Structure formats: structure tokens, C-alpha cells
Amino acid sequence: MKSARVWALAPARSRYRIAANALAPVIVLAWLVLLLPAAVSLARSATMPSLDSLRLPLAAMVLCVAHAVLGFAVGCWVPRIIATPILAVADWIAVAFTRSVLPYWPRHVSGQFGTFGFGEVPDFVTVAVPVLLAGGTAVGLIILWLPYGWRVLRIALAAVVAVGGALGAYRMSADWPATPPLTTGNVAMTCAGSAPRMCVPEFNAPYLPQVQRDTAKALTELRAAGATSARPRLITDAYVDGRRQKPSTDAVWRMMLTRPVPRGDAVYQVVVRALHFRCKQVDVRTAHTAWLWGAARTGQEKAYEMRRVQEGLDPVARQVEKQVRADVDRVLAEPRAEQAEWIRRTLDTCEAKTS
């Protein structure tokens, strides 16, 4: 703009209009790169984005505009043949390298949001910090372009805005750990049944009624067999809580159910949870003997076998599995009262005894 003497032309257009015309294609292209992959993915999965999920892309769109303004300002003073490559490389390095430095605040103020788990959404303050830094700098540069007013006053006001944004971003994020503030559980849930009531993400809703009935039946069978006294009021999916999982209680069990529900082994996972060992260390044979017995009593043997295949069976594990099945077959051949005594003794002493 400077070398082509655009700024020296008659004031038919304001310098903001000139800058907007120059930056519009760049900003639109940046937005397409940012939004198009996500939009295609949502369309393929027939998923509507929630308001919470739009928080992060909207903040990124604002950052694109702020960085474009910064690049335009630098290009007005630095020769254009070097301004573009220098800014492209320097901007990328400045942001990317914050992931490998300590303390953590540089990555937070730079816009390195990192990765978020299922159901996790960055808090408003998390997305505000990089917008405050980049936006404050961009607004300061825009103030410098004002065609009227004292130059000294414009420079002072621009400095206050830019420095204030930078200091505000630093003060807000200085004490944050590697993971910035975020909210969890931002997932639409569906629930079914009672005693226990089960809740899972709504995309698992078709499987839930049958899983809930089988779970209630399995817990009833285990209580009747003397293996547990557990009566959870609610069993909910802990996967939606992300990395900040809430602890379970006797009344509320939080379990990873998102994948087991459609896979077919969610009820088996509940059985394993209900068979509570009283000691900290349990040998493999004892643990699998109790779990296979519980699976056999509740009709979950296929789920147990599927789980064992997923874990991998080397020669040693295959030999242990043969011993486990022999132990369980002997126990299942005994009367129910003796089975109840056996499972109580196994869970209390963590010793596999079949007599």
C-alpha cells in the first residue's frame, strides 16, 4: 500500500476500507480452513453442533482476524518481499513453541488450546485470554490508523490498549496448570429404568433399555447369590466427565459405558464392579475366577470371553484361563449355599478356594 502510493491517493476511501478489502479474502480463507473440516465431519455424522461446541471455533475466528490485522500492520512498514515469509514463520513458531516451554501461561495466551476430551468445553475465560492478547494488539494498531487526532495521543491510547490486553491475559492465566479451565459433562444424556437408573449419551439410546434391564437382573442375581449387597440408585457414564471425573458413591456409580454399551459388555462391567475384593492386591487367577463365576451366574460369559480376547491370551495366560475355568466349573456344580460361601470367602480373603 505504501510503495504503490495508495495511502497518498485522494481520500475517496478510508484506510480502514482499504485494509478491509485487502484482508477480506485472507480472513475468509482462514475461516474456511478452520470451519470446513469440522462442518464436513458434522454433516457426515448428521450431528448438529451445540452452542457450547461453538465457543472454541468462534474464538479461533476472532484470532484469525486479529492476526490478519497484525500482519497487515507489519506489512505497511516492512518491505512486502520479506514481510509475508517472516511473519508466516515467526507467527507459527511463536505459537507452536509455547507447547514446549514452562511456565504454562505462554501457551494459554498464545491460543494453544491443546486437546479436549469427550464432553469437555473450554471455559469462557479460557477462550478470552488469547483473544484479549491478540485482540488488544489488533485494536491498538487500528487506533494508530485513525486519520484524526493528535499522533501522540493516538500512540499513547494504542499502547494502553495493547499493553492492557497483554497484561490482562497474563494475569488471568499465570496460575493455570497445563490444562486450562474447562467445563465437563457437556453431552446430551438419556436415562432409563430404575433400581438402578442408567444414563448414557443419547447416541447410545437404542441400546439402553435392554442394557438397563439386564443390569438390574444381574445385580439381583448377584445379591441373591450372596456375592454383593450393592444397590446403586444410579449408574451413569463417567466418560462424559472427561479428565475431571467425579468419584463414585454407594448410591451413584460412575463407569465408562460409552463403548461397552454398543459393544455388548456393559453389563459384565457392572458385574465386575459389584464383585468387590476386600484386599488391595489380587492374583490373576483369583480375580478371573470370581469374574467368570459372576459372568456365568448372570449370563455374561460371552462378554467375559470377549474381554479376555481383547486383553490378549499368551501361553501363560491360556494356562491360567484353563485353571480358572476348571475352578469355576467345580464351584458351579456345588449347591447355591456353598457357592455363596465360596464367593464371600474369595472376595474377603482374595484366595481362590473351591471347597
From CA 63, how far away is CA 50, in angstroms rounded? 21
E runs forming strands in 35-133:
121-122
User: What pLDDT is attached to residue 354?
Assistant: 40
**For 6-54, where are the alpha helices, taking DSSP H only?**
15-44
What are 227-258's pLDDT values in tens digits?
999 999 999 998 888 777 788 999 999 999 99
For strand 197-201 and strand 189-192, is the pairing parallel, antiparallel, or unpaired?
antiparallel
- The pLDDT-based confidence of 2 (bands split at 50, 70, 90) is low
What are 215-230's pLDDT values in tens digits?
999 999 999 999 999 9
Would you say 232 and 196 are in contact if contact means Cβ atoms under 8 Å apart? yes
What are 149-179's pLDDT values in tens digits?
788 888 899 999 999 999 999 999 999 998 8
Comparing CA positions, the residue from 157, 101, 103, 107 lying closest to residue 133 is: 107
Residue predicted with more confidence, 342 or 351: 342
From CA 343, how far away is CA 228, in angstroms rounded? 9
Residue predicted with more confidence, 4 or 165: 165
**pLDDT beyond 90 at 78:** no
Contacts of 258 (CB under 8 A, 6+ apart): 118, 200, 201, 204, 237, 239, 240
Q: Which of 2-6, 39-43, 90-94 has the lowest mean pLDDT?
A: 2-6
Contacts of 333 (CB under 8 A, 6+ apart): none
What are 253-289's pLDDT values in tens digits?
999 999 999 999 999 999 999 999 988 788 888 999 9
Dihedral over Cα of 293, 298, 302, 303: its sign: negative
**pLDDT beyond 80 at 15:** no
- Full DSSP string of 226-237: TS-----SEEEE
Burial of 316 (0-12, 13-18, 19+ CB in 10 A): exposed
